[in-house]
């Protein structure tokens, strides 16, 4: 198996975050975090904005697929008024199915090599003491450095890249970025993870929509998600010549009817590639689903129709009927608009489709 390690690019960002979330999604980490998801995918995202060393953000590639990632951040050792910059290592992530296959080793070896070339003086970080010594890391106590509270233990490790680099801060304490502080970042991580999950599920809707389009149907897809799991999926199967309705949301409701409890449906989220029509909205309401997340909004979708957008307070109308429902629109909307390029099974560039409808609307005036 050939492992290629290279620098991360912007095009890799979302996939790297997905890999990181999956790698740290094990039970012990979830329980320790106390919020139902890991923190590390948020850390990677945040480190790109501040405190991260992007020259040392590396990905491991196998068969043209990213399977692992590592990043370093800026840290320091402080002794009295003296502060010495050092590198903090991590998070490092490897897809579970590729773990124990040398991916992590390849990443760390390349990381050390690159850090030396860039002139960094030392690493200090927290990690597994049974794993990292094979690369030359030793307990930080060896260098006379303690953690921010003044303690030493086997999982606090380091390595000098320049011999004697840490001599001037013996007796000093290691200070890392507050990005690594779980207690401080709970709310930010929860908000990020919610958005992160929404995008993941919406992309699945878009896959279903394109699948429907390639079969000759209109490009719409929908899924029902509960407790982080996709319960049901549906594509559009409408055949207007045969007067078969078959909208994706309607098909999804049909699949779910009499199958799930009211409690599950009330707490589930229905994701749909495009804002649902009124008929589908009524079907969703009758199913008892309270939360709907849409990719393409009503307003944007009207660019592909021969009439102008008319604002309608759909949530308000439902409320008048005593129906509780929250509609969220415009999740990955630009991406979702391009899904319609496969409308009816034949590819048409989005710009041409919009221009054609604009011409129809002008001729109607």
> Any idea which residues carry the catalytic annotation?
249
Contact predicate 298/275, CB 8 Å: yes
Going by C-beta distance under 8 Å and a sequence separation of 6 or more, which residues neighbour residue 74? Answer: 51, 52, 53, 85, 87, 88, 177
Chain centroid, CA 112 distance in Å: 28
Taking the C-alpha atoms of residue 89 and residue 108, their distance in angstroms, rounded to an integer, is 9
C-alpha–C-alpha distance, residues 186 and 33, integer Å:
8
Give the closest residue to 174 by CA, choosing from 194, 190, 153, 192.
153
Q: At what angle do helices 13-23 and 182-214 cross, to 10 degrees?
A: 120
Q: What angle do CA 65, 194, 191 make, to 5 degrees?
A: 115
- The secondary element (H helix, E strand) that includes residue 23 is helix 13-23
HSE of 334, CA atoms in CB hemisphere, 13 A: 0
- In angstroms, the CA 282 to CA 292 distance is 12
Taking a C-beta distance cutoff of 8 angstroms, is the pair 212, 219 a contact? yes
Number of CB atoms found within 10 A of residue 107's CB: 23
User: What number of other Cβ atoms are within 10 A of residue 174's Cβ?
Assistant: 23
Rounded CA-CA distance 115/108 in Å is 10
Biggest distance spanned by C-alpha atoms of the chain: 82
CA nearest to 78, candidates 134, 3, 165, 146: 146
The answer to whether the CB of 41 falls within 8 A of the CB of 21 is: yes
């Amino acid at each position: 198996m050939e492992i290629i390690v290279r620098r991360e690019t912007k095009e890799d960002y979302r996939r790297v975050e997905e890999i990181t979330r999956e790698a740290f999604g094990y039970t012990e980490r979830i329980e320790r975090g106390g919020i139902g998801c890991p923190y590390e995918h948020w850390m990677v995202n945040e480190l790109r904005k501040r405190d991260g060393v992007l020259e040392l953000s590396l990905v491991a590639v196998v068969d043209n697929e990213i399977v692992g990632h590592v990043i370093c951040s800026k840290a320091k050792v402080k002794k009295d008024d003296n502060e010495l910059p050092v590198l903090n290592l991590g998070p490092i992530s490897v897809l579970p199915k590729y773990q124990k296959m040398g991916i992590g080793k390849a990443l760390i070896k390349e990381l050390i090599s690159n850090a030396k070339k860039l002139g960094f003086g030392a690493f200090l970080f927290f990690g597994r003491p049974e794993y990292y010594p094979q690369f030359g890391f030793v307990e930080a106590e060896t260098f006379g450095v303690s953690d921010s509270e003044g303690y030493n233990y086997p999982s606090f490790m380091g390595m000098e890249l320049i011999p004697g680099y840490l001599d001037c801060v013996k007796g000093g304490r290691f200070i890392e970025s507050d990005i690594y502080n779980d207690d401080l970042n709970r709310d930010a991580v929860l908000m990020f993870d919610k958005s992160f999950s929404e995008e993941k599920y919406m992309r699945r809707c878009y896959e279903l929509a394109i699948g429907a389009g390639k079969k000759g149907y209109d490009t719409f897809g929908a899924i029902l998600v509960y407790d982080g799991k996709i319960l049901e999926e549906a594509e559009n199967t409408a055949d207007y010549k045969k007067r078969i309705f078959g909208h994706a949301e309607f098909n999804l409701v049909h699949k779910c009817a009499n199958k799930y409890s009211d409690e599950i449906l009330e707490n589930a989220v229905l994701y749909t590639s495009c804002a649902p029509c009124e008929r589908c909205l009524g079907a969703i309401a009758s199913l008892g689903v309270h939360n709907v997340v849409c990719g393409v909004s009503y307003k944007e979708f009207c660019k592909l129709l021969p009439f102008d957008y008319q604002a309608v307070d759909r949530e308000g109308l439902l409320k008048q009927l005593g129906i509780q429902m929250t509609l969220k629109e415009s999740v990955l909307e630009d991406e979702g608009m391009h899904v319609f390029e496969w409308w009816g099974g034949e590819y048409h560039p989005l710009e041409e489709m919009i221009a054609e409808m604009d011409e129809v609307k002008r001729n109607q005036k």
